[in-house]
């Protein structure tokens, strides 16, 4: 689970079904689950369920990769519909995911030759 601003996201796995995509940002040459979790922590999101948090991050990568025209803004808005995350916190999840878990969006990568 992720604890955000005193509120607990009780079912992050549900967020993986919400739909969304990611901001186009530089990503590592390979997925970095540890980097993703650390960035969430650095941004003030406390992870209490690592498996669920990683599932959300990888799902965000999948959405941006498979839903044409879907943006990071839309992904954050979708995630922010859960009362446990406000818009800023949802955006933090999206940014951390694309920066650490979506190597296909790296400049010069498969999606950005």
pLDDT in tens, 44-88: 998 889 998 999 999 899 988 899 988 888 889 888 887 778 889
* Region for residue 31 given its phi and psi (left: phi exceeds 0; alpha: psi -120 to 50; beta: otherwise): beta
Mean pLDDT of all residues in 8-24: 35
- What number is the average pLDDT over the span 3-30? 38
Size of the chain, expressed as the number of residues it contains: 113
Structural contact between residues 80 and 2, judged by C-beta atoms closer than 8 angstroms: no
Token look-up 């995350």 returns: 85
Match 């369920």 to its residue by tokens.
49
What pTM, to 2 d.p., does this model score?
Answer: 0.69
The residue with greater pLDDT, 35 or 17, is 35
The Cα 77–Cα 59 span in angstroms is: 15
Q: What percent of the chain has pLDDT over 70?
A: 67
The SS3 of residue 107 is coil
């Amino acid at each position: 689970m992720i604890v955000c601003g005193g509120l607990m996201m009780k079912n992050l796995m549900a967020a993986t079904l919400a739909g969304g995509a990611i901001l186009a940002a530089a990503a590592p040459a390979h997925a970095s689950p540890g980097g993703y979790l650390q960035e969430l922590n650095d941004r003030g999101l406390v992870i209490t369920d690592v498996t669920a948090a990683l599932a959300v991050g990888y799902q965000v990568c999948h959405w941006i990769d498979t839903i044409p025209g879907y943006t990071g803004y839309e992904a954050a808005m979708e995630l922010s519909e859960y009362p446990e995350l406000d818009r800023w916190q949802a955006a933090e999840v999206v940014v951390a995911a694309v920066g650490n878990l979506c190597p296909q969006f790296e400049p010069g990568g498969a999606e950005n030759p």
